[in-house]
Amino acid sequence: MIDVFVSLGSNLGNKKKNIEKAVKKIGAIENTKIEKISSLVKTKPHQAPGPNYLNGVIKIATTLSAEKLLDSLKKIETELGRKRSFKNAPRTIDLDILLYGNKKIKTKNLIVPHPKLKIRDFFKKSLLEIEPNLKLV
């Protein structure tokens, strides 16, 4: 099992419900279990106008590869009605892999640690809330 941190964000519809539904679906991914859930925080949208976000971070344990996990997360985004209309458009749910164990990944589809980890305040705050000993270098 590898420990993975996933961020959840919603700025459309019932944001809290969207996040709760996503957590439930993530918990139902094969060989994956939810270990910790951060509190949810309101944030302003970045790089685009639009409604505020509700954001949280979860810690999961999985045997899936990072690519397979990303596929499952994208499927959940689609199931929850996310439409990819334009870059940074409001979304019912946005799921990102922040950390995948201590692996560094750089492929066409996936960059881990997440490139915005250092610049989005809530990523760091929420990660440290659920994993106070996490080393964010």
User: Pattern 69-98, binding to ligand AMP, x per CB under 6 A?
Assistant: -x-----------------------x-xx-
Whether 27 and 68 have beta carbons less than 8 Å apart is answered as no
> Nearer Cβ to ligand AMP, position 111 or 130?
111
Closest distance of CB 127 from ligand AMP, Å = 14
Active site residue 71: no
Q: Candidates 14-22, 41-49, 105-113, 125-133 — which segment interacts with ligand AMP by CB under 6 A?
A: 105-113
Nearest Cα neighbor of 40 from 26, 59, 22, 54 is 54
Question: Please, what's the b/e burial string for 40-58 (b: 16 or more CB within 10 A of its CB; e: otherwise)?
Answer: bbeeeeeeeeeeebbbbbb
Closest distance of CB 58 from ligand AMP, Å = 13
* Residues involved in catalysis: 82, 91, 94, 96
